[in-house]
Protein backbone atom coordinates (compact mmCIF):
# COMPACT_ATOMS: atom_id res chain seq x y z
CA UNK A 1 0.00 0.00 0.00
CA UNK A 2 1.33 3.48 -0.79
CA UNK A 3 0.87 6.23 1.75
CA UNK A 4 1.42 9.68 0.27
CA UNK A 5 1.04 13.00 2.03
CA UNK A 6 1.69 16.66 1.33
CA UNK A 7 1.25 17.65 4.98
CA UNK A 8 4.51 16.85 6.70
CA UNK A 9 7.80 15.06 6.40
CA UNK A 10 9.94 13.71 9.22
CA UNK A 11 13.46 12.71 8.31
CA UNK A 12 16.76 12.50 10.15
CA UNK A 13 15.21 14.20 13.14
CA UNK A 14 14.05 17.23 11.17
CA UNK A 15 10.37 17.85 10.62
CA UNK A 16 8.90 19.86 7.77
CA UNK A 17 5.27 21.02 7.94
CA UNK A 18 3.93 22.22 4.57
CA UNK A 19 7.48 23.25 3.68
CA UNK A 20 8.36 25.01 6.94
CA UNK A 21 10.72 23.71 9.61
CA UNK A 22 8.68 22.79 12.69
CA UNK A 23 11.27 24.37 15.00
CA UNK A 24 10.78 27.74 13.32
CA UNK A 25 7.03 27.39 13.57
CA UNK A 26 7.28 26.62 17.30
CA UNK A 27 9.28 29.76 17.91
CA UNK A 28 7.63 32.24 15.58
CA UNK A 29 4.02 31.26 14.92
CA UNK A 30 0.92 30.80 17.04
CA UNK A 31 -0.95 27.48 17.27
CA UNK A 32 -3.89 28.84 15.27
CA UNK A 33 -1.60 30.00 12.46
CA UNK A 34 -0.13 26.51 12.28
CA UNK A 35 -3.60 24.94 12.32
CA UNK A 36 -4.45 27.09 9.30
CA UNK A 37 -1.18 26.00 7.70
CA UNK A 38 -1.83 22.26 8.04
CA UNK A 39 -5.40 22.60 6.80
CA UNK A 40 -4.84 25.08 3.94
CA UNK A 41 -1.23 24.60 2.93
CA UNK A 42 -0.21 28.23 3.51
CA UNK A 43 0.24 30.44 6.55
CA UNK A 44 -2.63 32.86 7.22
CA UNK A 45 -2.43 36.62 7.23
CA UNK A 46 -3.51 38.64 10.26
CA UNK A 47 -7.15 38.83 9.23
CA UNK A 48 -7.37 35.10 8.61
CA UNK A 49 -5.71 34.44 11.96
CA UNK A 50 -8.18 36.61 13.82
CA UNK A 51 -11.17 35.01 12.10
CA UNK A 52 -9.89 31.47 12.81
CA UNK A 53 -9.42 32.35 16.48
CA UNK A 54 -13.02 33.53 16.66
CA UNK A 55 -14.39 30.40 14.96
CA UNK A 56 -12.55 27.97 17.23
CA UNK A 57 -13.36 29.96 20.37
CA UNK A 58 -17.05 29.95 19.44
CA UNK A 59 -16.96 26.14 19.57
CA UNK A 60 -14.92 25.64 22.74
CA UNK A 61 -17.67 24.40 25.02
CA UNK A 62 -21.42 24.32 25.37
CA UNK A 63 -22.09 23.09 28.86
CA UNK A 64 -21.95 19.73 30.60
CA UNK A 65 -25.33 18.73 29.19
CA UNK A 66 -24.49 18.18 25.52
CA UNK A 67 -24.23 14.58 24.39
CA UNK A 68 -20.47 14.70 23.77
CA UNK A 69 -19.57 16.07 27.22
CA UNK A 70 -21.96 13.68 28.97
CA UNK A 71 -20.55 10.73 27.02
CA UNK A 72 -16.89 11.63 27.57
CA UNK A 73 -17.49 12.06 31.31
CA UNK A 74 -19.39 8.76 31.55
CA UNK A 75 -16.61 6.91 29.75
CA UNK A 76 -13.79 8.34 31.88
CA UNK A 77 -15.83 7.59 35.02
CA UNK A 78 -15.66 3.87 34.21
CA UNK A 79 -11.90 3.94 34.68
CA UNK A 80 -10.70 4.73 31.16
CA UNK A 81 -7.77 6.89 30.21
CA UNK A 82 -8.16 10.42 28.88
CA UNK A 83 -7.65 9.57 25.22
CA UNK A 84 -10.31 6.83 25.26
CA UNK A 85 -12.83 9.13 26.93
CA UNK A 86 -12.08 11.92 24.46
CA UNK A 87 -12.59 9.59 21.50
CA UNK A 88 -15.97 8.52 22.85
CA UNK A 89 -17.02 12.15 23.28
CA UNK A 90 -16.10 12.82 19.65
CA UNK A 91 -18.08 9.76 18.57
CA UNK A 92 -21.16 11.40 20.11
CA UNK A 93 -20.92 14.13 17.46
CA UNK A 94 -23.35 12.51 15.05
CA UNK A 95 -25.65 14.13 12.51
CA UNK A 96 -27.59 15.89 15.28
CA UNK A 97 -24.67 17.27 17.31
CA UNK A 98 -21.99 19.39 15.66
CA UNK A 99 -22.88 18.50 12.08
CA UNK A 100 -24.99 21.54 11.25
CA UNK A 101 -21.80 23.49 10.39
CA UNK A 102 -21.00 20.92 7.72
CA UNK A 103 -24.57 20.84 6.43
CA UNK A 104 -24.79 24.62 6.35
CA UNK A 105 -21.42 25.06 4.61
CA UNK A 106 -22.46 22.46 2.04
CA UNK A 107 -25.79 24.17 1.45
CA UNK A 108 -24.23 27.62 1.00
CA UNK A 109 -21.46 26.32 -1.26
CA UNK A 110 -23.87 24.37 -3.44
CA UNK A 111 -26.29 27.26 -3.82
CA UNK A 112 -23.87 30.16 -4.13
CA UNK A 113 -24.86 30.84 -7.75
CA UNK A 114 -28.58 30.28 -7.20
CA UNK A 115 -30.34 33.27 -8.76
CA UNK A 116 -33.73 32.91 -7.04
CA UNK A 117 -33.29 32.37 -3.31
CA UNK A 118 -36.94 33.02 -2.49
CA UNK A 119 -38.10 30.18 -4.73
CA UNK A 120 -35.39 27.85 -3.48
CA UNK A 121 -36.34 28.45 0.16
CA UNK A 122 -40.03 28.05 -0.61
CA UNK A 123 -39.47 24.84 -2.57
CA UNK A 124 -37.44 23.32 0.27
CA UNK A 125 -39.99 24.38 2.86
CA UNK A 126 -42.77 22.80 0.79
CA UNK A 127 -40.77 19.59 0.71
CA UNK A 128 -40.33 19.96 4.50
CA UNK A 129 -36.54 20.04 4.16
CA UNK A 130 -35.07 21.62 7.29
CA UNK A 131 -32.58 24.30 6.32
CA UNK A 132 -29.26 23.65 8.09
CA UNK A 133 -27.95 26.48 10.26
CA UNK A 134 -31.29 28.02 11.15
CA UNK A 135 -33.32 27.80 14.32
CA UNK A 136 -32.60 27.92 18.03
CA UNK A 137 -34.25 26.06 20.85
CA UNK A 138 -35.10 29.16 22.87
CA UNK A 139 -33.90 32.33 21.23
CA UNK A 140 -35.28 34.33 18.32
CA UNK A 141 -31.78 35.64 17.60
CA UNK A 142 -28.49 33.84 18.28
CA UNK A 143 -25.95 36.23 19.82
CA UNK A 144 -23.00 34.02 18.87
CA UNK A 145 -23.76 34.24 15.16
CA UNK A 146 -24.06 38.00 15.46
CA UNK A 147 -20.69 38.19 17.19
CA UNK A 148 -19.07 36.00 14.55
CA UNK A 149 -20.49 38.19 11.78
CA UNK A 150 -19.14 41.27 13.56
CA UNK A 151 -15.66 39.74 13.49
CA UNK A 152 -16.21 38.60 9.89
CA UNK A 153 -17.03 42.17 8.84
CA UNK A 154 -13.97 43.54 10.63
CA UNK A 155 -11.68 40.98 9.01
CA UNK A 156 -13.19 41.05 5.53
CA UNK A 157 -14.71 37.56 5.63
CA UNK A 158 -18.32 38.62 5.47
CA UNK A 159 -18.58 37.64 1.81
CA UNK A 160 -20.92 36.00 -0.67
CA UNK A 161 -21.69 32.97 1.48
CA UNK A 162 -22.48 35.09 4.53
CA UNK A 163 -24.72 37.28 2.43
CA UNK A 164 -26.45 34.20 1.09
CA UNK A 165 -26.95 32.96 4.65
CA UNK A 166 -28.60 36.24 5.64
CA UNK A 167 -30.73 36.30 2.50
CA UNK A 168 -31.87 32.71 3.05
CA UNK A 169 -32.77 33.65 6.62
CA UNK A 170 -34.88 36.59 5.46
CA UNK A 171 -36.81 34.50 2.96
CA UNK A 172 -37.23 31.69 5.44
CA UNK A 173 -38.66 33.97 8.11
CA UNK A 174 -41.14 35.48 5.65
CA UNK A 175 -42.83 32.11 5.26
CA UNK A 176 -42.09 30.38 8.56
CA UNK A 177 -44.63 30.55 11.38
CA UNK A 178 -41.83 30.27 13.91
CA UNK A 179 -38.88 32.64 14.15
CA UNK A 180 -35.80 30.84 12.78
CA UNK A 181 -32.62 32.85 13.39
CA UNK A 182 -29.31 32.00 11.76
CA UNK A 183 -27.59 30.07 14.52
CA UNK A 184 -23.91 29.73 15.37
CA UNK A 185 -23.52 26.67 13.13
CA UNK A 186 -24.98 28.53 10.18
CA UNK A 187 -22.72 31.53 10.75
CA UNK A 188 -19.64 29.32 11.07
CA UNK A 189 -20.54 27.41 7.91
CA UNK A 190 -21.00 30.65 5.97
CA UNK A 191 -17.83 32.33 7.22
CA UNK A 192 -15.53 29.37 6.64
CA UNK A 193 -16.96 29.13 3.15
CA UNK A 194 -16.06 32.79 2.66
CA UNK A 195 -12.55 31.95 3.87
CA UNK A 196 -12.28 29.42 1.07
CA UNK A 197 -12.62 26.20 3.05
CA UNK A 198 -14.35 23.16 1.58
CA UNK A 199 -17.53 22.09 3.41
CA UNK A 200 -16.04 18.61 3.75
CA UNK A 201 -13.57 19.88 6.36
CA UNK A 202 -16.19 22.01 8.16
CA UNK A 203 -16.93 19.57 10.94
CA UNK A 204 -13.21 19.51 11.66
CA UNK A 205 -13.45 23.19 12.62
CA UNK A 206 -16.12 22.41 15.17
CA UNK A 207 -14.19 19.47 16.59
CA UNK A 208 -10.81 21.27 16.78
CA UNK A 209 -12.58 23.99 18.71
CA UNK A 210 -14.45 21.62 21.02
CA UNK A 211 -11.65 19.18 21.92
CA UNK A 212 -10.13 21.47 24.61
CA UNK A 213 -13.56 21.82 26.22
CA UNK A 214 -13.95 18.05 26.28
CA UNK A 215 -10.47 17.66 27.78
CA UNK A 216 -11.49 20.09 30.53
CA UNK A 217 -14.66 18.08 31.22
CA UNK A 218 -12.77 14.78 31.30
CA UNK A 219 -10.17 16.19 33.68
CA UNK A 220 -12.86 17.67 35.92
CA UNK A 221 -14.60 14.29 36.03
CA UNK A 222 -11.32 12.48 36.81
CA UNK A 223 -10.72 14.84 39.74
CA UNK A 224 -14.26 14.46 41.08
CA UNK A 225 -15.54 11.81 43.44
CA UNK A 226 -18.59 10.95 41.37
CA UNK A 227 -17.61 7.33 40.92
CA UNK A 228 -19.00 5.27 38.08
CA UNK A 229 -21.67 7.08 36.09
CA UNK A 230 -24.64 4.92 35.27
CA UNK A 231 -28.39 5.31 35.56
CA UNK A 232 -30.02 5.05 38.94
CA UNK A 233 -32.89 2.62 39.32
CA UNK A 234 -35.33 5.54 39.24
CA UNK A 235 -34.03 6.80 35.90
CA UNK A 236 -34.54 3.46 34.12
CA UNK A 237 -37.92 1.97 33.35
CA UNK A 238 -38.72 -1.52 32.12
CA UNK A 239 -41.59 -1.67 29.64
CA UNK A 240 -41.14 -5.20 28.29
CA UNK A 241 -42.57 -8.67 28.60
CA UNK A 242 -43.71 -9.75 32.08
CA UNK A 243 -41.79 -12.59 33.67
CA UNK A 244 -42.56 -15.95 32.09
CA UNK A 245 -41.45 -19.55 32.43
CA UNK A 246 -38.82 -20.93 30.07
Query: What part of residues 24-43 is at the interface with its own copies (CB under 8 A)?
Result: 24-32, 34-35, 38-39, 41
Nearer to its own copies, 77 or 172 (CB): 77
Taking CB under 8 A as the rule, does residue 119 contact its own copies? no
168 contact partners, CB below 8 Å, separation of at least 6: 117, 120, 121, 131, 134
Taking CB under 8 A as the rule, does residue 1 contact its own copies? yes
Q: Are strands 20-21 and 14-17 parallel, antiparallel or unpaired?
A: antiparallel
Shortest reach from residue 197's CB to its own copies, in Å: 10
From 215, 101, 111, 107, select the one nearest 148 (Cα to Cα): 101
User: What are phi and psi for residue 143, nearest 5 degrees?
Assistant: -60, -30
Evaluate whether 109 touches 161 at the Cβ level (below 8 Å). yes
Nearer to its own copies, 86 or 168 (CB): 86
Task: For the segment 192-231, give every residue that binds its own copies (CB under 8 A).
Answer: 198, 200-201, 203-204, 207-209, 211-213, 215-220, 222-224, 226, 228-231
Taking CB under 8 A as the rule, does residue 4 contact its own copies? yes
Report DSSP letters for 62-83, one per residue.
Answer: --TTSHHHHHHHHHHHTT--HH
Taking residues 61 to 90 in sequence order and writing x for each that binds its own copies by CB under 8 A, - otherwise, the string is xxxxxxx--xx-xxxxxxxxxxxxxxxx-x
Taking CB under 8 A as the rule, does residue 177 contact its own copies? no
- Reduced to 3 states (helix: H, G, I; strand: E, B; else coil), residue 160 is helix
Taking CB under 8 A as the rule, does residue 7 contact its own copies? yes
User: What are phi and psi for residue 241, nearest 5 degrees?
Assistant: -55, 130
Taking CB under 8 A as the rule, does residue 103 contact its own copies? no
Amino acid sequence: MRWKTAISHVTDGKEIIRGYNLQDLIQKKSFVEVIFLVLKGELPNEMETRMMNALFTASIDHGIGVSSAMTARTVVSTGNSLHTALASGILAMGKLHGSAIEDAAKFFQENIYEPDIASLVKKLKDRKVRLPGFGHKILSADPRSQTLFTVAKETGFYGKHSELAVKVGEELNKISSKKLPLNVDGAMGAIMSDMGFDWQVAKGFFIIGRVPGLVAHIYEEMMSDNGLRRLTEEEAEYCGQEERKL
